[in-house]
Chains A and B, each alone.
Chain A
Amino acid sequence: MDKRENLLDTIRAIAVRTPTKDIEVPEKVVGFGTIDYKAQTCSACKKCILACEPGALDMEETLSMHDYLRVTMPQEGFRSKNRETLVTLLQNLKGDYDYGDVQAVSVPDGLAGYGSIAWSAEQCIACEKCIEACPENCLTLQKTYKLAEVVGTVESPPRPPERKDWEPFIICFVCWECSHAAADLAGLMHLHYPASIRTIRIPCSGALEPIHIMTALQQGADGVLVTGCLLSECHYGGDSPKAGNFMQYDFVKFWSDILEEIGIGGRLYIDFASAAMGIKFAEIVETFTDKIRHLGPSPIRVKTEVQE
């Protein structure tokens, strides 16, 4: 199965609420976004469709009258003059007509040169190849993610039963540079922190993929904690904006927003500790465990049980 498809399937599996809002995509997060399409300048040349590798774009045999009537003509006009004339004439003819709920007009079969682009959030990997290919500049990338479109409707599971003996179960991804050393140091210093975490060593916090977070949650973890070197001190990039922990910080923010929207907010957290910060590591674990204890057991477990 395709990687993206796998991730989206997992998100759908752990969703306990129907998402409604678009998620803002942080600056450093690539691969997620919304392609905004301006139908009025499109010449239906299909270059974007040919450029799109995951097949997120398709040709629709319609003409978007809504866009045509609403657009304000730029000073220099459109590059495609035939469209410019068509739009101008239509706007001229419409007069004061209320175009609020104008329907798209279907293009008769056999008529070349007309059509609209249909974009699917699910397949899009925001690679911008379509934008480069478009000669008319009708495509732009918006830094938002249409989660609602991807996830669809979700049936909320029943509330989990209260269990007195419940203790949080947290998966903690540690980078094998500073933060792993910090965890070691916490041990060497005989610091006590809750027994709720299970650490998984990864090369760099930046190497953590969203599918790992989602799988951990799907498999019943109550929370996922990511730790890395101190910001600007990543062993793989240092203070470069592309350093692993900088990247992961934005990603975790993005995934936290998504988890919030699908009803399991607050269960993902990222923090940083250097090799000398054993105490801080213990504190991070303690704070996050408290937070999870406060949130209660993960509703996903109930969901999977219900499904079974």
Chain B
Amino acid sequence: MKKLFLCTCNKTLNKRLDFARIEKEIGGTFESVQVHDALCLEEGLAFLESEVSKDDAVVIGACTSQIIGVPIERRLASEQISFVPIREHVAWVHKDDKKGATNKAMVLLNDGAIHVDYMVPKTSVDLQMEKKVLIVGGGIAGLKVASDLVQLGVDVTLLEPPEFNKDSYVEMNQFMADSDTLTDTVKGLLSASKGSKKFNGTITSLSGRAGLYSVTLKLEDGKDKDLLVGAIIVATNTEQSPPSLAKTAHYGKSDNTLFVSELATLTSNLSGKTILVAQDPTYHDSDAEGSYLLREVTKAAEKGNTVIVAHFNIYTKDENLYRKARESGVIFVRGTLERVDKKKGQLVCRLENTLESQVREFAVDYLVLQPECKPWSGTRKLAETLDLDLDQSGFIKTRYSKIKPVQTSKRGIFIAGNAKTPMNLNDALASASNASLEVIKSIIAEGERKGWIPIIDEELCDVCEACVNACPNDALRRVGDEIKHIPMHCEFCGICVSACPTRAIEFQSHSKDSWMSRIEAIAENHKKLQGKEPFTLVYACSECANASIDQAGFTGKGYSANNYVIQFPCAGMVSPIEILKGLVVGAEQVIIAHCPPGGCHHQAGDHLSELIVEFTQDMLKTIGQDPDRIKATYMIAALPNKMQEEVAHRG
């Protein structure tokens, strides 16, 4: 039975929409049409629960699925539910056009009716998880993750590179913190992480999926060891090396030349000394290093020392640090250290001020250098073995710096601490805690993961690997002469479907046929109700773009009723076929709305949809059609007027 439930949203929507007309005219499509005043409240949910049985197909015309989706899906026995946001997408944005809004509501409700026809229950993902964790790198961040997880009762294996030596760890890896703090922290973490297994060796191979990764380790004694783990955390460190200035500055030969990290220990009970901090002009430091330098020189100056910083570019995102340093009396000189001579226990430094083209010579008590910070030398090899992406500087790339800062390009592999970028001690510890939480969430948490997945037709598949290349999540892999889908890695985005040239991959509930008939029906119903008025189709991704259009409703940024939004799981799922279909059925323009550049929830959809539109525009040009009839644009919840602007004018 196909049932339609309309919500008046506490008797407000029926003032903007002609509910009586909707019931009368659309009634034929559904077996029953019922109107309720508050479907989102307990009484409404109870009403739905009593009305809907397992075999019913349900269309809910109410507020956005972002609000009402979860409670309804949880309560209803049926899994064939389509949500039509007649509030945010219709009633609230077409306030002055009751007839047009009612017509649009009917068009969209009809679309919902077709959508449920194609809908199948969501597929449950096999969540079998090995509740074991492998940590690569037992530095501060690695130890922190290990201690967090051990305390939560997780089986932890800690893998160290063969050259690792516990005793000299603190001396070897000055961690943008003074050695006292470091020694204490390491001591604390070592005792807290007792109970984790420790090996010295390297990873040689990785296979399987997140939750069931099988890893081969090559241990220090030359033996291989196989492990089955649920998640891997990469907590490799940075490597610090003396800068090219080190030789000029007599580093290692003079007791008075030291690194920034040693400055705090030195000045803890020292005042009235002259200290020169020299930056290497050939090395560009990161934000963390620049900020650390500024903090340390401020502390040294506050102790009553004369601190001079010869710099080129101290990079920091916190302007206050610089101001504070100046206020504490630090003298900043733009220039390079040219020459250093030892004289009577002091160092005579020759400094060229490049701003004033002046060369000065003065004696200092201490010379402080900033070491160069690079990713651990084994990072590249490790990334190859684990199939991870690296950023420009050779650090491991995070999946999405804002909302997924400890996730890597591969599901089930996380990063903690300096593996991502040079960090100071506190940031590294925070990042490690974050990684432990994500691991706990992914491997320990019980629950169900469901979604519509791509189904591969082996008959039609040419094994061209277009889907494998397109999938941003490593959820499709070629195994022999077949393409295999790994539901655990799948984010249900549908990008693979857009890439497939043969239609060997069909997405559950979103088959190509379903798009075709939905687009056709919208156009047909529009023409029936609105006559010859031109209309626009907006293919919106279900993440940012849909939220933006909902926001347009909340903030009342109205637009013409002749704009129909069709929700795609991800804008990357739109292929030229759906775009051209929109034009063929008579849409004046087709807009593909995606997440902001670089902000796609599935990593690639924003970029792919831009490419698809560019490609389709080229096709249109060659057949003499106006390419400006289609466009790709980003929409984001923070910009509620984006929808209004985009549909208002062409081109």
- Measuring CB to CB, which residues of chain A are less than 8 angstroms from any residue of chain B? 43-47, 63, 65, 69, 79-83, 85-86, 89-90, 92-94, 97, 99, 102-103, 105-108, 110-114, 135-136
Contact = CB atoms under 8 A, between A and B. Distances in A.
Contact of A113 (B501, B584, B618): B501
Nearest to B469: A112
A162 B105 CA distance: 94
Contacts of B462: 43, 45, 47, 80, 135-136
A107 B616 CA distance: 10
Given A44-B466, A106-B618, A113-B470, A89 B584 contact: yes
A113 B623 contact: no
Contacts of A86: 576-577, 580
29 contacts: A43-B462, A43-B501, A43-B502, A45-B466, A45-B501, A47-B463, A63-B615, A80-B503, A82-B500, A82-B501, A82-B502, A83-B501, A85-B512, A85-B516, A85-B577, A89-B577, A90-B619, A93-B620, A94-B625, A99-B623, A106-B618, A107-B615, A111-B611, A111-B612, A112-B465, A112-B467, A112-B469, A112-B499, A136-B462
A102 B583 contact: no
B445 interface: no
A65 B464 contact: no
B142 to A, nearest CB: 36
Contacts of A79: 460, 502
Most A CB atoms within 10 A — which of B470, B500, B611, B619?
Answer: B619
A44 B466 CA distance: 9
A112 B470 contact: yes
B466 A113 contact: yes
Interface in B592-630: 607-608, 611-612, 614-615, 618-620, 622-625
Contacts of B583: 93
B575 interface: yes
Nearest to A110: B611
B615 A65 contact: no
Contacts of B622: 65, 102-103, 105
B625 A82 contact: no
B581 interface: yes
A155 B263 CA distance: 80
Nearest to A68: B619
Q: Name the interface size band of chain B.
A: 35 or more
B466 A82 contact: no
Contacts of B498: 113
Contacts of A107: 615
A102 B623 contact: yes
Contact of A108 (B466, B470, B615, B623): B615
Task: Give me the 5 closest cross-chain CB pairs, A-B, nearest first.
Answer: A45-B464, A43-B501, A113-B466, A45-B462, A80-B502
B542 to A, nearest CB: 22
A34 to B, nearest CB: 24
Nearest to B615: A108
B500 to A, nearest CB: 6
Contacts of B618: 105-106
Nearest to A96: B624
Contacts of A136: 462, 502
A191 B308 CA distance: 113
A108 B503 contact: no
A299 B467 CA distance: 58
Contacts of A94: 623-625
Contacts of B501: 43-45, 80, 82-83, 113-114
Contact of A44 (B464, B503, B607): B464
Contact of A90 (B464, B580, B607): B580
A89 B586 CA distance: 12
Interface string B559-598: 0000000000000000111001101100000000000000
Given A43-B462, A44-B466, A135-B462, 5 more contacts: A79-B460, A92-B584, A93-B583, A93-B620, A102-B622
A105 B619 contact: yes
A112 B465 CA distance: 9
Contacts of A85: 512, 516, 577, 581
Contact of B623 (A82, A83, A90): A90
A247 to B, nearest CB: 37
A13 B557 CA distance: 75
Contacts of B466: 44-45, 112-113
Most A CB atoms within 10 A — which of B470, B501, B516?
Answer: B501
A135 B481 CA distance: 13
A107 B617 CA distance: 11
Contacts of A43: 462, 464, 501-502
Contacts of B619: 63, 65, 90, 105
Nearest to B501: A43
A82 B575 contact: yes
Contacts of A63: 615, 619
Contacts of A103: 622
Interface in B74-89: none
Given A82-B500, A110-B607, A113-B470, A93 B584 contact: yes
Contacts of A106: 618
A294 B624 CA distance: 59
A113 B501 CA distance: 5
B500 A113 contact: yes
Nearest to B577: A85
A4 B459 CA distance: 38
A110 to B, nearest CB: 6
Contact of B615 (A46, A99, A111): A111
Most B CB atoms within 10 A — which of A99, A108, A112?
Answer: A112
B580 to A, nearest CB: 4
Given A44-B501, A82-B502, A113-B464, A89 B580 contact: yes
A302 to B, nearest CB: 49
Contacts of B584: 89, 92-93
Interface in B30-79: none
B572 to A, nearest CB: 11
Contacts of B623: 65, 69, 90, 93-94, 97, 99, 102
Contacts of B503: 80-82
A213 B465 CA distance: 46
B212 to A, nearest CB: 28
A98 to B, nearest CB: 8
Contacts of B577: 82, 85-86, 89
Contacts of A81: 460, 502-503, 512
A85 B580 CA distance: 10
Contacts of B580: 86, 89-90, 93
Interface string B497-531: 01111110000000010001000000000000000
